Amino acid sequence: MAAEDAKSVLFVCLGNICRSPIAEAVFRKLVTEGNIENKWVIDSGAVSNWNVGRAPDARALSCLRNHAIQTGHKARQVTKDDFLTFDYMLCMDESNLRDLKRKSNSVQNCKSQIELLGSYDPQKQLIIEDPYYGTDEDFETVYQQCLRCCKAFLEKPH
């Protein structure tokens, strides 16, 4: 499959240091294990500009390491170009969804399908809550939700 035939997904949360980098890393691992890396362009971003250039939260990195996943991601804000280039924007909560849909309205020829990542959860946990003010267990909950949702998303026809 040629690179131009690849599908693309951007995982989005508020600051791009907790939920979306976890989702990005989980999805990247799944496509690597499935030997389909050449079929996907994968990234993550934030609706805010608060953490641009920062590494993911130390608790997010620790959680990923506990599951043998590495990431070198640096936080970035979603750009207008993202709406033109990514097939899917999968976000974590209603606030992210509202922000992305509002931003997409100002982009001509928006090609991104904007959805909640949780809409793919077989356990029907629609919202992936921000663990930033929580505990290590909250980060583990985010990881498990992202794993279930990413597997289900990957299994659907694209």
Query: How far is Cα 31 from Cα 135, in angstroms, rounded to an integer?
Result: 29
76/51 Cα distance (integer angstroms): 7
Paired residues of 113 in beta bridges: 88
What six digits make up the tokens of 2? 């040629």
| Number of neighbouring beta carbons within 10 Å of residue 124 | 7
d(CA 153, CA 25): 14
Please say if 18 is a catalytic residue. no
130 carries an active-site annotation = yes
13 as an active site residue: the answer is yes
Catalytic-labelled residue, pool 82, 99, 121, 130: 130
Which of 18, 19, 43, 148 does the annotation list as catalytic?
A: 19
Known catalytic residues are 13, 19, 130
